[in-house]
Structure 1
C-alpha cells in the first residue's frame, strides 16, 4: 500500500509539473528552443530544491545546507501551487478569449469589406501626368511583414502571463504577511466555573512559531515583542515552536527568555518537537524561563492550568496522558488545558475540561489548504463548543515550509476569560 501511495503521489506531481511546463513554456512559444529548455530546468529544478529542503530538514542535514535549500525550495513549492491554480482558472478563460478574438476579427473583416474602394485612373484620363522629362522613380521597397502570432499562441501568452502575475502577487503578499509578524486577535471566552475574581484574566496564546532554516531569531523577537505588548496575565506556547535541533536553533529561540507575564509562561510540545528532539527542547525552554507542562497540571489562584504532550510522542512512549494531568483534579474548579492538536478535544470532554487551547492547523496556511485541514481536524480555527467544553484553535504565529500564508493570516490570540457571576 505504501508503494502504491508513493506511485500515485509521484504520478500526480509529474502530471502537474508537465502541465505547468506545457502551459507556461511550450504553448507560449512557436517552436522548440531555449525558452522551452529553460522552462523545463526551472520546473524540474524547483521541485528538486523543494524536495531537497524537506528531506534535509527531516534528516537533520547540516544547518547551512538546510538554509541554502529552504528559501528557493519552499518558495517554489508555494509558487507552483498558485501557478497551477491560476492556470486551471485560465482553462475557463481560454475559450472565452478565443471566441472574443474570433468575433472581433470577423467584425473587422466585415468593416473592411464595406469601405468604398478608390477610383482607378486610366491612361486616357485627364488627370495630371508627370512631365516626360521627369525620370521614372522606382517604388519604395515595402518592408517585410512581421508574421503575427496565431490566435491560439496569443491566447496562450495572455493566459500564462496573467497566471504568472497572479501567482507571484499572491505568494509575495502572503510571504510579506508572515515576515511582518503576527497580528493580535482578542477573544472573550466565558467559563461557567470561573470565579468573579478571575473575570478578565488574559491568556496570550501562541502556537506554531516554527523557528527553523527560514524563520530565525529576528522573527522570534517580533513574536516575543508582540506578546509582551499585550501585557497578558499568562502566556501559553502550545507547540510547534521549532523545526530543528537545539544545537542549530538555540540562538534563534533565545528571545523567549524575555517573555513576561504575571503568572508566567507555559509550554507544551507539538508534533514538530518530536521531529526535532523533544526532550532536549523541553529542557531548553525550561532554561529560558518557560514552564513545560508534560502531562501535568498546576493550580493557579482561580482555575487549574493543565497541559498534555502531543500525540506524536506516542511513537516515543511520551504521548498524551490525560488521566495523569487531569484525573485527580477538583472538578468544581475551572480548568484550561493546553494541547497542541485540536483532535485532543475528545479526551478533554471526557475529563470535563472547560477550555482547550490548541494550534497545529495553521488555519490551512495556504488556501485551499483549509479544506484539507478541516478534513483532519474538528476545528480549523477559532472558538467552538463541544458539549460543556470549549475549544479555541489559533492559526499560529509562523509558517511551516513556505514562509507564506494565503487566506489564513498569522496571529497571537489574547483569550480573556469571563465569569458569569
Structure 2
C-alpha cells in the first residue's frame, strides 16, 4: 500500500511539474521533447533509487541524484501550487477577447516561463538550504528533565539520546564517526540509541556501524529497535553485531542503573514494526521487576508508544522516529500520527522526549527540522 501511494503521488507530481514547466512554457518541438526526456530520466533515477535501497553498497550512485530530485520535486510542486491562485485571479480578471481575435499564446508562454523560473529558483533555494542542514553536524541540545523520585546520587546524571542515524546508501562510516565524536564530547553517563540505525544488512553496513564501539560513557550504550531494523532481513544479525560492538540491546527487557545503594530502571521495548517479525513490543515483559519506588526510563522508538508507557506509570520515555518532520510541511502529517513532533512534553503523566534524529531518510534534505543529539540532564 505504501508503494502504491508513493508511486501514485510521484506520478501526479511529475505530471504537474511537466505541465507547468514544460508543456505550458514551450512550443511543440525539439525543446519540449528534450525537457520531457530530462524530467523522465530524473524520475526514473528516483524510482531506481527507491527500488535498489536494499543494496546500500551499490546504489549510492543512483541514490544521490534520485533522492536529491525527490527533495527538489517536492518544493517545486509546492512553489508552483503557490502560484495557482495568481493564475486563477489573472484568468478571472482578464478582459474578454472578441471571438474572432486569436489568443495571445506568446504572452501566455512568457508568463508561464516567468512563473516556472520563479518557482524553480525558490525550490532550488529551499532544497539547497535543506541539503546543507541535513548533511551538516547535528545540533547538540541540552535539556534538563526533572524526575521527582530520582535519588540525589543521580542528580546531574547525563543521558545522550541519539536516534534515526539511518546508515545506508547516503550515510556511511564518516557519519557514524562524527556522531560518536560529538556524543563523546558531551561526556555522558549513559548513551541511548533509540532505533533506526540502519537501512541495510550487516554485510553491507557493518563497517559503517563499527565506530559505535568507540562510544564512551560510565554506564554504557543501550539500543532499542526502530521500524527500519525490521525492514531488512537481518534483524537478528544486527542485534548480534551491536552486542559485539559493546552496545546493549534492550529487547522487551530492563536493567538497573546504580550509584551505590541508589538506582533507577532503564527499560526498552521493541518497535511496533516488530510484529511483522514476531517480535512485537511487550511492555509487561519490558517493565517486569522494575521498582515502583524509583524512576523508570523507557527507550521506545515511536512516540505513540507512550500511551502504553503511561498506563504503566513510566516516568520518562525516550523516542525518535519523527525526524521532527524532516521536510516542511510534512510536519503536519507527522503530528497527526504521533503525540509529539520533537522535544519534551508530558502525556498522561509520563514525560516524553522525542529526538529529531541525527540522520535522514529518503531525500538528503531537512527543512525546519535540523538533526540533533540531545543530552538530558536528570534532576531530582
- TM-aligned CA deviation for residue 370 of structure 1: 0.8
* Equivalent-residue separation in structure 1 for 2:204 and 2:237 (angstroms): 12
Cα distance in 2 between the residues matched to 1:355 and 1:56:
38
CA deviation vs aligned residue, 1:10-40 (integer Å, no higher than 9, x gap): 55543332220121122222x1123211222
Residue 278 (1) aligns with residue 235 (2): yes
CA distance in 2, matches of 1:243, 1:189: 32
Q: Identify unmatched segments of 5+ residues in structure 1.
A: 103-147
Find out whether 1:185 has 2:141 as its counterpart: yes
Cα distance between partner residues in 2 of 1:62 and 1:408: 25
Alpha-carbon distance between aligned partners in 1 of 2:6 and 2:357, rounded to the nearest angstrom: 28
Q: Distance in 2 between matches of 1:337 and 1:235?
A: 13
Which residue among 294, 297, 313 is the counterpart of 2:251?
294
Q: How many Å separate the matches in 2 of 1:297 and 1:11?
A: 43
What corresponds to 1:264 in structure 2? 220
Residue 341 of structure 2 is aligned to residue 345 of structure 1: no
Distance in 2 (CA, whole Å) between partners of 1:34 and 1:405 is 36
User: Is the partner of 1:150 in helix, strand or coil?
Assistant: helix
**Which segment drifts farther, 320-329 or 86-95?**
86-95
Contact 2:290 2:296 in 1 (8 A): no
Partners of 1:278 and 1:271 in 2: how far apart? 11
1:361–1:373 Cα contact (<8 Å) kept: yes
Matched with 1:14 is 11
| 1:103-151 Cα distance to aligned partner (Å, 9 max, x none) | xxxxxxxxxxxxxxxxxxxxxxxxxxxxxxxxxxxxxxxxxxxxx9933
The 5 Å alignment of 1:360-379 reads 360-379=321-340
**Where in structure 2 are the equivalents of 1:209-358 lying within 5 Å?**
209-276=165-232, 277-301=234-258, 302-358=263-319
Query: Structure 1 residues 321 and 91 mapped into 2: Cα distance closer, same or farther (>3 Å)?
Result: same
Offset at residue 327 of structure 1 (A): 2.5
Task: Indicate conservation of the 8 Å contact 1:94/1:159, yes or no.
Answer: no
In 2, are the aligned partners of 1:362 and 1:394 still within 8 Å (CA)?
Answer: yes
> Does 2:72 match 1:79?
yes
TM-score by length of 2: 0.91
Q: How does 1:32-51 map to 2 (within 5 A)?
A: 32-51=28-47
2:56–2:168 contact (8 Å) kept in structure 1: no
The alpha carbon displacement at 1:96 in A equals 6.6
Q: Does 1:63 align with 2:60?
A: no
Aligned mates of 2:82, 2:294 — CA distance in 1:
54
Matched, 1:52 2:8: no
Q: Structure 1's 216 and 62: CA in aligned 2 closer, same or farther, altered over 3 A?
A: closer
Q: CA deviation at 1:62?
A: 7.2
Q: CA deviation at 1:61?
A: 4.0
Q: Are 1:199 and 2:155 matched, yes or no?
A: yes
Structure-1-length-normalised TM-score: 0.82
- The answer to whether the aligner puts 1:158 opposite 2:101 as a matched pair is no
The residue that corresponds to 1:138 in the other structure is none
Distance 2:105 2:18 in 1: 20
Residue-by-residue CA offset, 1:293-341 (whole Å, 9 max, x unaligned): 1111111113111111111111111121111110221111101000101
Q: Partners of 1:62 and 1:264 in 2: how far apart? A: 29
Which position in structure 1 is the counterpart of 2:85? Answer: 92
Which residue is 1:170 aligned to?
126
Which residue pairs with 1:137 in the alignment?
A: none
Superposition RMSD in Å: 2.2
Partner of 2:98: none
Distance 1:355 1:45, change over 3 A: same
Q: Secondary structure at the match of 1:63?
A: coil
Cα gap change, 1:18 to 1:246, in 2 (>3 Å): same
- The number of residue pairs the alignment matches comes to 367
